[in-house]
Amino acid sequence: MRSRKRANLREVALKAGVSIATASRVINKSGSVSEKARVKVNAAIEELKFVPSAAAKAINSGRTRTVGALVPTLDNAIFARFLRSLENEFANSGLSLVVSSTNNDPELELERAKKLVQIGVEGLLISGTDHSQEFHELIEKVQLPTVATSFYDPDYHLPTIGYDNKQVSQKALRYLVGLGHKQIGVIHGPTANNDRTRARLAGLNELAEDVVFVFAETEMTVEGGCEAVILFLNSENRPSALISLSDVQAIGAISELKRQKLHVPGDMSIVSVDNLPASQFLEPALTTVNLPVAEMGEYAARAISGWIENNERPESILLPAEIMIRESAVALHQ
């Protein structure tokens, strides 16, 4: 029942008194067109507020100039920063960004991916390694340039742009061990369908040596961080320091520790992973391993546009993740 108002090329050509081929040539500045015709067509375009249909363009050229990004969630500021970089960089290349969130659910991811393929995205950005078999088959079959982010693995079957998640958590651990901590509580989000969390946990276990871990898997929310602290305080081997695998959980943990009248870092040190914009302004300022998500967005966007434009498959890129030493962790006082 919607009134179709958008003008099409035929109407433009009619109004300008030329053929649609000539009108098309004016719009695309292709082929030679006389000055008279050009002027008439441009006037008609202006008058009709004609905007060429990307769908019709796409159907001829097979090109949509659109890229899809599948992110686990938009809820975390860390992904917002990533998207911002992406969008910025893609806009510079004349590409549009379609965003879909997957909630770390491979089935939902597959569904959203199909939608993106329907739209005709020319490239795809995904997070991590946990995807359904059918998802892999789909991007394989449609030959969709796809870059996996948030981790680095040069042997992965797709180009990867990200950090080494094992090292990320190990940086946090080494710092705490260097401060003398041996009883460490680890707060992390769900491991199901989240390879990055699993990799970070694996990194910790590999480097365990003479530290004892207590693990708490909670939701990746502020409340999840609170819960984890309560678990630790009730556990028999109470840790002297915490590693949180996300800043949001760390924020919750600090807040719960304060509520329990424990001083951070005096009574409990905490080191985290993410480095959200607000983290350095917490009290105490959060010591956390910075995930270079803005750079990741930039590199990933460039990798995808290069792949699309020049058909050259990008190389994997390892981005450094540095620990930002601030105030939330101190040496263990015996």
Partner DNA sequence: TTTATAATTGTAACTAGTTACAAAAGCAAT
Partner DNA sequence: ATTGCTTTTGTAACTAGTTACAATTATAAA
Q: Which residues bind its own copies (CB under 8 A)?
A: 1-6, 48-49, 51-59, 62, 64, 66, 73-77, 79-81, 83-84, 87-88, 91, 96-101, 112, 114-120, 137-138, 141-143, 222, 248, 251-252, 254-255, 276-278, 281-283, 308, 311
**Contacts of residue 32, Cβ cutoff 8 Å, sequence gap at least 6:** 25
262 contacts DNA (rule: CB under 7 A) = no
217-255 burial, b at 16+ Cβ within 10 Å, e below that, comes to bbebbbebbbbbbebbeeeeeebbbbbbbbbbbbbbbbb
103 contacts DNA (rule: CB under 7 A) = no
Least distance (Å) between residue 264 CB and its own copies: 11
Q: Per the omega criterion (within 30 degrees of 0), is the bond before 284 cis?
A: yes
Site for DNA in 36-65 (CB under 7 A): 36-37, 50, 52-53, 55-57, 59-62
HSE value, Cβ hemisphere, 13 Å, CA-based, for 135: 23
Least distance (Å) between residue 125 CB and DNA: 23
Mark residue 130 as left, alpha or beta (left: phi above 0; alpha: psi -120 to 50; beta: remaining). Answer: beta
165 contacts DNA (rule: CB under 7 A) = no
Q: Where are the beta strands (DSSP E) in the chain?
A: 66-71, 96-101, 123-127, 146-149, 160-162, 183-188, 212-217, 241-244, 269-274, 287-290, 317-318, 323-324
Cβ closer to its own copies: 88 or 183? 88
9 contacts DNA (rule: CB under 7 A) = yes
Question: Which residues face 215 on adjacent strands?
Answer: 186
Cβ closer to its own copies: 10 or 34? 10
Least distance (Å) between residue 61 CB and DNA: 6
Cβ closer to its own copies: 100 or 183? 100
**190 contacts 197 by C-beta, under 8 angstroms:** yes
| Sequential DSSP letters for 45-96 | HHHHT----HHHHHHHHS---EEEEEES-SSSHHHHHHHHHHHHHHHHTT-E
Cβ closer to DNA: 59 or 91? 59
Tokens of 137: 């088959």
Least distance (Å) between residue 144 CB and DNA: 15
The span from the CA of 44 to the CA of 38, in Å, is 10
14 contacts DNA (rule: CB under 7 A) = no
115 contacts DNA (rule: CB under 7 A) = no
Cβ closer to DNA: 60 or 133? 60
94 contacts DNA (rule: CB under 7 A) = no
Residues in the chain: 334
Site for DNA in 61-90 (CB under 7 A): 61-62
Q: Which of 89, 88, 69, 64 is closest to 79 using CA atoms? A: 69
Of 34, 103, 235, 237, the residue at the interface with DNA (CB under 7 A) is: 34
Cβ closer to its own copies: 120 or 265? 120
The span from the CA of 54 to the CA of 219, in Å, is 42
Cβ closer to DNA: 11 or 75? 11
Cβ closer to DNA: 3 or 32? 32
2 contacts DNA (rule: CB under 7 A) = no
Residues that bind DNA (CB under 7 A): 4, 6, 8-10, 18-22, 24-25, 27-28, 30-37, 50, 52-53, 55-57, 59-62
